[in-house]
A and B are shown apart, each in its own frame.
Chain A
């Protein structure tokens, strides 16, 4: 079946602009995660959704970052007033049940969106 998809694959924007990054998880997966991967680093956790609600947003770096998942499937990561330091690959992952499952879930990753802030 279809995996996790993310659009756009690349986004170039200017400092101060607003961007939206989209994630389509695997159908039926209730848990959705956003990560940020800087060059030469591993993915760093940003936010976790269980269904429609943000169950853990402790990884968001500041209030310029926000994410929604209004219908419990597609999620959008929104970044306001972008800064050059926001340049990174933004990864989305989904899993069948997430933290509520009481068991270890495998996370399935999308290909990422490469954001470049000029």
Chain B
């Protein structure tokens, strides 16, 4: 079946540090991959997505590349800010049925 496994948190970084949140997936077909972000007190928001192998999604300085050979979609940002503190969810969609990871909490300290 389909599933997503992401790096457990919480993650605490200093401002301007490099961020990686690992995400791997299991899928029966050819899914699309997403990162959603949930800021404190808010709903989930789409951060970026990739719909096929080798695609790179990017937004707000975050990037993730769809790696079919390693079944991964790791989230990266070169220099995090305090405002990036949130919970990040990796998700896959196959036939528009979504499967989410458990979320990784990120706290960025000044």
Contact = CB atoms under 8 A, between A and B. Distances in A.
A107 B97 CA distance: 10
Contact of B101 (A42, A91, A95): A42
Interface size class of B (residues with CB under 8 A): 20 to 34
Contacts of A45: 97-99
Given A40-B102, A41-B102, A42-B102, A99 B96 contact: yes
Contacts of A95: 96
Interface residues of A, number: 26
B93 A104 contact: yes
B46 A106 contact: yes
Nearest to B93: A104
Interface string A88-118: 0001010100110100111111111000000
Contacts, number: 54
Nearest to B101: A42
Contact of B97 (A42, A56, A110, A111): A56
Interface in B77-99: 89, 91, 93, 95-99
Contacts of B103: 40-42
B32 interface: yes
Interface of B: 4, 32, 34, 36, 42-46, 49, 51, 89, 91, 93, 95-103
Interface of A: 4, 31, 33, 40-45, 48, 56, 91, 93, 95, 98-99, 101, 104-112
